[in-house]
Amino acid sequence: MMIKERMKKFLPFIIASFVLIFIVLFYFSQNNNEQTAWEETDEPFQQTTASSEEQTEETGEIMVDIKGEVNKPGVYELEGDARVKEVILKAGGLTKKAEEKQLNLAEKLSDQQMIYVPNQAEAEEMEETGEEQEVNQSEDTVDINAADLTELQELSGIGPAKAQAIIDYREENGPFETVDELSEISGFGEKTVEKLRESIKI
């Protein structure tokens, strides 16, 4: 009887202990499951993020400033592979004064690029300036494959002896293909060749 009475007395404590142990085990079991699920899904999430970043780099948007003869000049946001034609359309198209032949509509744009659309008068002036520069450059340079002894001496630092050496070299070896070939002639060092480079044409 004494044992039964004692068992009845401690029975609530024993039951409470089992319940507490069960709760603790259940809690830790749930935490482990959540951790496992997170670890399993973590790597795919990282891969998705990386893939998204790569896609942004490849097809990211760019900012382009367009000025001149367009209906709505300004800064426009476009796709990374956009062309000049697209930014012109974004800007409301060309005005009636625009000179389209100065533009390469298929040119690929880059971030922070500035496009200027000239009018007809500006385009003509640009063409004339370009032609004048070409003429001036042609007049200021000496063709070492065609120049005679006197013309070669017009080059800075070239006297009769060096001018004759140039003529002798081309007669023996054929026309010069590059300016650097001058360094193969006695008396023409690297510094001399570099000094003459802007004054010579082939």
In terms of pLDDT, which residue wins out, 125 or 16?
125
User: Do residues 68 and 119 make contact, with C-beta atoms less than 8 angstroms apart?
Assistant: yes
Locate 144 and state its tokens: 């070492």
* Residue 195 confidence class, pLDDT cut points 50, 70, 90: confident
**Which has more confidence, 106 or 126?**
106
pLDDT tens column, 58-94: 558 999 999 999 999 999 999 989 999 999 999 999 9
Spatial distance between the Cα atoms of 202 and 198, rounded to a whole number of angstroms: 11
Tell whether the model's pLDDT for residue 125 goes beyond 60.
yes
Over its C-alpha atoms, the chain yields an Rg (Å, rounded) of 41
Enter the DSSP assignment of 107: P
Q: What share of the chain is helix, strand, coil (3-state, %, to 5)?
A: 60, 15, 25
Does the pTM of the predicted model rise above 0.75? no
Which of 202, 182, 177 has the alpha carbon at shortest distance from 192? 182
Q: Which is higher by pLDDT, 160 or 7?
A: 160
DSSP code of 193? Answer: H
Taking only the tens place, the pLDDT of each residue in 144-166 is 998 999 999 988 889 899 999 99
Q: Which is more confident, 138 or 75?
A: 75
CA distance 153 to 147: 9
* Domain architecture of the chain: domains with CATH: 61-125 (3.10.20.600), 142-201 (1.10.150.320)
The whole-angstrom separation of Cα 12 and Cα 94 is 91
